[in-house]
Amino acid sequence: MRCNESQILWKFTSCMSRAVSMLVYLKKQGGISKVTHARFAESLIDGLAGHPATGNRSDEIYVQYEMTNKGLVLETSETKKDQSILLCRPPFCPMKLLTETTKMDIPAEIMSGGVKIGVAVLLESSDNCILITRRSKSMRTFPSVWVPPGGHLEPGETLVQAGLRELEEETGIHVNENDDITTLGFWESVYPPLLEKGPPKRHHIVAYLQCQAVISSEALTATMSLRAKEVDACAWLHRRLASRMTCTSTGYAGAASSIKENETSHKLCSSEFDYVDGILMSDNGVEKGRIIPVEPLLHDHSHIERISTGTRYAIKLWLNEQDK
């Protein structure tokens, strides 16, 4: 069967897109520093810290980073410095638990793909709420999962440029690059998120950025236009609800040692928060409401929808910044 011009163009564009993917590189310390590709089937933390394949391994490490024309270069930081960023993974990270036998189940084309770069933006309104969005149920990875607006890094972009582009594409909210934007932390993300759900297909590092808006959540909602094929809902979380969401029993339970616990959040119950402000889209991309039920956001491993473990981690970092 012959391909028409549009099919040929699509295949060419798809191949080019894969060829220019921005990847993660590791700069390992030692006698001579050497920059190498981050390997798909190895946890970034293990690769940087030189952890053995077995034994008690930390799920966090402080890193310094540099953007180059090829991608993101990470190196370990011996102490917590002003320019160091915390990189974490969940205790159940599949890359931490892979064995030589289970690696054989991963197709060669995936194994050779390296570790990709993602960016997510925690947009904070002037009334101290943060915005999260629900990924469309048709998305290939993490469908119906609540996350901050974000996506992939394109060639030539900085983390901030990629984050703001994705924020505007998904929500219609435009933020200037020179506004108050900081890097909260890095998260090692794998899909599927549990090894019991199958061999890994995607391996990313996600940079969580914090962006301070100068107008209220209500005013921002009035300017929003959700890209329904990617996100089908959004919600504004105020501080007390955000605290409650980070204290579920089976999410990112380890809570990096540098992340402080909020004692009062344990005393909150879901009945205090029935609904929050946001936007809910119908299956055909039409807005159908502006209130979002809270209950699904408090579940750790719902098969229908949940807030991601990485998002809980990012919210904890945001709460820590609020307490400073």
Q: Please give the Cα distance from 265 to 192 (Å, whole number).
A: 30
Q: Give Dmax over CA atoms of the chain in angstroms.
A: 65
Q: Are 269 and 245 in contact (CB under 8 A)?
A: no
Q: What pLDDT, on a 0 to 100 scale, did the predictor assign at position 297?
A: 80
Q: What pLDDT, on a 0 to 100 scale, did the predictor assign at position 258?
A: 39
pLDDT tens track, the chain, 324 positions: 444 444 434 343 444 444 467 999 999 765 566 899 999 999 999 999 876 554 457 899 999 999 998 899 999 986 666 679 999 999 999 999 999 999 999 999 999 999 999 999 999 999 999 999 999 998 989 999 999 999 999 999 999 999 999 999 999 999 998 878 999 999 999 999 999 999 999 999 999 999 999 999 999 999 999 999 999 999 999 998 998 888 754 444 344 443 444 433 333 444 456 889 999 998 888 888 898 888 888 766 556 678 999 999 999 999 998 887
Tokens of 273: 């928060």
Q: What pLDDT, on a 0 to 100 scale, did the predictor assign at position 298?
A: 76
Helices marked H in the chain: 5-19, 44-49, 94-97, 100-103, 108-111, 159-171, 217-223, 239-245, 309-323
Q: What pLDDT, on a 0 to 100 scale, did the predictor assign at position 293?
A: 87
Q: Are 45 and 188 in contact (CB under 8 A)?
A: yes
- From the DSSP assignment, how many helices (H) and strands (E) are in the chain? 9, 15
Q: What pLDDT, on a 0 to 100 scale, did the predictor assign at position 8?
A: 38
Beta-strand pair 129-135/231-238 = antiparallel
Q: Please give the Cα distance from 235 to 311 (Å, whole number).
A: 13
The residues near 312 (Cβ < 8 Å, ≥ 6 apart) are 245, 246, 248, 251, 252
| Structural domains present in the chain | 22-323 (3.90.79.10)
Instruction: Read off φ and ψ for residue 183, nearest 5 degrees.
Output: -90, 120
Q: Please give the Cα distance from 239 to 259 (Å, whole number).
A: 16
Q: Please give the Cα distance from 27 to 43 (Å, whole number).
A: 14
pTM score over 0.95? no
Q: What pLDDT, on a 0 to 100 scale, did the predictor assign at position 248?
A: 57
Q: Are 290 and 277 in contact (CB under 8 A)?
A: yes
Q: Are 43 and 90 in contact (CB under 8 A)?
A: no
Grouping H, G, I as helix, E, B as strand and the rest as coil, residue 313 is helix
Q: What pLDDT, on a 0 to 100 scale, did the predictor assign at position 20?
A: 65
Query: Which residue type occupies 293?
Result: P
